[in-house]
Structure 1
């Protein structure tokens, strides 16, 4: 999901549909997490907001929501890769009263004429009231 170290931010109109797929506007959905107006209350919503951050190129948000023990020292997004659709397959724990959770998802991308997807089951923890992405629970599959 990463290559070029830049804060590549795609222009996203506030009333445009949110990339995470929940069917609401970007501003009222993941945009409020990206801007710091709100914190994702569940692991699944953090996963959705991270997908949207990849879609709009919000590198600072991705780094901020990555657990410090697994966060890469540099994050580089590939400018040729567009993240176009997210499917949440399962969510285990990660609710309002949980401290850990797992979300299995399939993230679809377009790279030139090639379409593909990334399938991962991710681990999340809540620390200091914030959900953080830790990493994959099983090998990541790129199809």
Structure 2
């Protein structure tokens, strides 16, 4: 989760697509002009250990958009795909 947040910060589309499950991965990532991600707070993690094939991460990400502060709250679902953890989808608050 932290690496994907960092990829959004630096707009690393290749990394984001590589770490997205192929069944839910978009063709491209559209970065919002004027969006600046500022911090990430992991609030909860369930499963996701070496013994699991799925896991969830609940987080709050802060940003500024055209100079105005905001936050995104999300519960992200991850799964193992070809031996690596990949982002599957999310439930957004």
TM-score relative to the length of structure 2: 0.94
Q: Check conservation: 2:36, 2:65, Cα contact below 8 A.
A: yes
| Structure 1 residue ranges, 4+ long, deviating more than 2 angstroms after superposition | none
SS in 2 for 1:109: strand
Question: What RMSD, in angstroms, separates the aligned Cα atoms of the two structures?
Answer: 1.0
Structure 2: gaps spanning 5 or more residues: none
| More strand per residue | 2
TM-score relative to the length of structure 1: 0.62
- Number of aligned pairs? 93
SS in 2 for 1:82: strand
Which protein has the larger Cα radius of gyration, Structure 1 or Structure 2?
A: 1
| 1:134 paired residue number | 88
Note if 1:58 corresponds to 2:12: yes
For 1:126 and 1:119, the matched residues in 2 are separated by: 23
Note if 1:69 corresponds to 2:29: no
Structure 1: gaps spanning 5 or more residues: 1-46
For 1:91 and 1:112, the matched residues in 2 are separated by: 31
Shift of 1:96: 2.2
Note if 1:79 corresponds to 2:33: yes
